[in-house]
Copies of this chain bind each other. A is one copy, B any other.
Amino acid sequence: MYLESPRYTERFGSVRINDIQKVVALDSGLKSEIPPHGAMGVVKICEDTIKDFEDKMAIVIPIKNEKLKLFEGVISGIPHDCLIIVVSNSQKEPVDRFRMEKDTLNQMCRYTYRSAYIVHQKDARVGEAMKQAGYTELVDENSLVRNGKAEGMVIGLLMAKLAGKEYVGFVDADNYSPGSILEYVRIFAAGFSMAKSPYSMVRILWHYKPKFSGGMYFRKWGRVSETTNKCFNSLISSRTGFETNIIKTGNAGEHAMSLKLAELLPYASGYAVEPQELVSIFEQFGGSLPSGPADVVRYGLDLFQIETRNPHLHEDKGTEHLGGMLLAGLSTIYHSPLCDEETKQLIISQLTIQKAMKPKQEPPKPHINRPPCKVHIGEFVKHMEPHLETCSALYED
């Protein structure tokens, strides 16, 4: 894979925010010359390097009643050396969709000699292990993990930790193009290979997101993303004193982190989860608030934003969720102690103009699940480890 080199980096405290790097070519061959690092603005990420990081990576797929054809395509695109972790919140009755997902995954794993885990979000053993870990806000009154993609993501990343992985990436199950999934994961690996710190995050920017209403139209910037990024940049500008547009992936659903970083971040419910990760990174490591762990301050944190070559083709969920998405994202910025008055006003005016909120209101506070490092991960591991085998896609019950 050839990528643009990280030509431009802004610093915010200990955080190194790299500007967009585009994928130049999907493959870089076996025998080709390795250009001097960063010469001519392009870096070659060798196949061996990519495979090396894939081997240390778990890919978490949160899924809820998605079309099986799409799910099957998604898992067929995940590089073989990655561990697949499916966290499903699909129905079990009247049709047992969870069972179908498990069967699909089982078939793929058997035929391609790979391993994977699949666990239901409402699995009583998972709820119990979370409770034992003290993750009370994640568990409902029936001792089951609450609904929500963010909650599924937490299960996924704790499973990745349990499986001894060093990196965790997230991809959605509603993608039409297995080739895109392959590219996302290779981008994650490429990003981690460029990181100088053990604390790193890779966020994906889609090259284009085609709209099919009457012919093909390739949208580059959705309105929600545009607004979320604008508010993020306003927040950073207010702190650094220099106007910036460095953040271009505020809403990125496809993203990956080192587990070391993943353990330090809180996970907000619903659409707030991805923007909240960024907000928390800035709070903890931006240097303005006295809360970053010493280790991160020493190594810094590498944030990569990488633009795919493939267009993003996913299941069309309509437009009703867009208002909620905008509201959830901006509320994480609004309620951050970092947020200045000007950015707050910008958020309120944007939410009002785009009819995501009634005038003269405040965005609601996001529901935030504490960072895994604040609970007893050891207890989760202790309670889940005996059941791990039964979560294997190859386990026959």
Contact = CB atoms under 8 A, between A and B. Distances in A.
A80 B182 contact: no
A348 to B, nearest CB: 36
B179 A80 contact: no
Nearest to A30: B51
A76 B24 contact: yes
Contacts of A40: 110-111
A29 interface: yes
Contact of A114 (B23, B32, B48, B210): B32
A396 interface: no
Interface string A188-219: 00000000000000000000001010011010
A178 B316 CA distance: 21
Contacts of A51: 29-31
A14 to B, nearest CB: 32
A364 interface: no
A309 interface: yes
Nearest to A77: B26
A26 B76 contact: yes
A97 B316 CA distance: 35
A113 interface: yes
Contacts of A81: 27, 29-32
Contact of A80 (B25, B54, B79, B309): B25
Given A179-B179, A310-B179, A80 B111 contact: no
A2 interface: yes
A55 B32 CA distance: 11
A73 B26 CA distance: 10
B32 A113 contact: yes
A31 B352 CA distance: 54
A316 B110 CA distance: 38
B80 A55 contact: no
A93 interface: no
A35 interface: yes
B55 A178 contact: no
A108 interface: yes
Contact of A25 (B47, B48, B108): B108
Interface in A41-62: 41-42, 44, 47-48, 51, 54-55
A313 interface: yes
Interface in A143-199: 176-180, 182-183
Interface string A249-260: 000000000000
Which residue among A42, A55, A108, A113 has the maximum number of chain B CB atoms within 10 Å of its CB? A113
Interface string A96-108: 0000000000001
Nearest to A211: B212
A354 interface: no
A295 interface: no
A311 B177 contact: yes
Contacts of A313: 311, 313
Interface string A308-322: 011101011000000
Task: Kindly list the 3 A-B residue pairs having the minimum CB-CB distance in the complex, ordered from nearest.
Answer: A179-B179, A29-B80, A212-B212
9 contacts: A2-B112, A24-B76, A24-B111, A28-B80, A29-B81, A32-B80, A76-B309, A212-B216, A311-B313
